[in-house]
Amino acid sequence: MVGSAAFAQDKASGTDEGILVLQQKPFIKAMRFEIEPTFNLPMNETVTQHVGVGVQLRFHIKDWVAVGAEYIKYFGWSKDDADGALDNYVSYARLMDFYVGANVSFVPLTGKFLWLGQYGKPVYWDIYMTAGAGAAKTLFGDYHGSGNVGFGFRLAATQWLTVNFEIRDYMYMENYALEDKFVNNVVFSLGLGFFMPFKHTYVHPK
């Protein structure tokens, strides 16, 4: 009897070793909408300075791909030129009004880390690449076709809230007084992503 019991226990242990347990991810983007209010700061300006507020709308088709649209409203001013040091650049000063466009993004890298070390909960993150096209408008009434490329870093605070950091280069041709010039408007964005539905439901329960 003792031998039979030991054999049965070994067999059960062997069976358990063949079971593969797949852990469910607590944060899923696939088939969800994301609304992201943003604060935007151009990084490479010379004679002007802008800040912007905007919104991005995304639909995540899969966890690794999304399509979206965005709008950024800019508020700008000319920098002080008390010593005349910027005289050579005055002809290239142009204040921006807004940008509107569409984009697609891909997620090549994801991961997680423990907040507060081993005593905290895992925080999921991803790095995404984005590219898009749209129209940029200046305060002088000029519209310009614009393309953009960039990358971002997303931290999942909850199942429905993320903190997003992004750098993007908005490119277009500007018609200045002296000549047409290719413009690279490199913008840093900070945003909060609100996901809907607020909670992801798995097809198969745990």
Class of domain 32-196: mainly beta
Q: Tell me which residue of 195, 197, 193, 198 sits closest to 38, measured CA to CA.
A: 193
Torsion of CA 116, 122, 127, 132, to 10 degrees: -110
pTM of the model: 0.80
Q: Is the pLDDT of residue 21 over 70?
A: no
Domain ranges of the chain: 32-196
Give every CB contact of residue 149 below 8 A, 6+ residues apart in sequence. Answer: 129, 130, 131, 168, 169
pLDDT in tens, 66-121: 999 999 999 998 876 544 544 544 445 678 999 999 999 999 999 988 877 666 78
Residue type, 43: M
